[in-house]
Amino acid sequence: MYKSIQIEDFDFSIFPYITDRKVNTYKERNKNTLINIQDYLLNKKNTLSVEKIYEKLFVNVKPDIFLSHSHADEDDVIRLAILIEEELNLKVFIDSCILGDAFKLLREIDKSYCLSGSNFNYRKRNYTTSNIFMILNSALNRVIYNCEAFIFLGTDNSIPINEVFENKKYLSSPWIYSELQFAKLVRRTPKPRQISIESRDQALAESLAFDNDLNFAYPLPETDATLSNQKLKKWIEAYQYSSTNRNIHPLDILYKAISYR
């Protein structure tokens, strides 16, 4: 990974319209089928291969951009991914397109190995869940390591807890926290190209009410830089509508627009 960026106020409503049909097509395109447990078993009938699960989930995934987000924002995040892929020709990875398949696999494992009569064995269920989550977390970390730009989309859904008296913001999702924390700590790698000295466009130069469910407040890890939603839109437009500097890589234009901490 080369750079981590937080979009502080992501809202797709200011971007060009992307149809629901395109969103559904994107979901289907990125959908794996993790139903047949037999595909992941070793010779022993009760031993699942972590390597086989990983290969099925993330075969040669090396995206240009990793989009970290709340599952509640999934459709708008997919719209952003479609826009970036269509207009900037960059590969985008969205973790929620994979998470659903991992949960399907977990359900199948639980039905086969944790069900006793009509009830689940609590100890076995904890064991299977912790293992699948560990596999998934490790796989996501590897994708983050392999991407060039990690972008966290900040919304009321992804940062739902605001502590007014302490003036702090907290995450409630352990997945987002893990991704941001790994992105903060992972070794930065050089880009495969030099940043162009040319410029494409001058424009680029509260409180959460808890219900009865238990929530956890994770501190919000810092990213390398921040960007407003409006500048995110201008970045895409700068590449979309300008034909004078098509030789500049779109991510190099993004790096010029960000505000460093």
- Residue pLDDT, tens place only, 171-192: 988 999 999 999 999 999 988 6
pLDDT band at 198; cut points 50, 70, 90: very low
Q: How do the domains of the chain map onto residue ranges? A: 3-260
- Residue pLDDT, tens place only, 67-82: 999 989 999 999 999 9
Pairing label, strands 218-219, 65-68:
unpaired
Q: Give residue 76's pLDDT.
A: 97
pLDDT band at 218; cut points 50, 70, 90: confident
Amino acid at 76: D
Per-residue HEC secondary structure of 79-92 comes to: HHHHHHHHHHCCCE
Q: Give residue 149's pLDDT.
A: 96
Q: Give residue 260's pLDDT.
A: 61
The stretch 238-252 carries a mean pLDDT of: 74
Q: Which residues contact 226 (CB under 8 A, 6 or more apart)?
A: 5, 6, 7, 8, 258, 259, 261
The stretch 43-65 carries a mean pLDDT of: 78
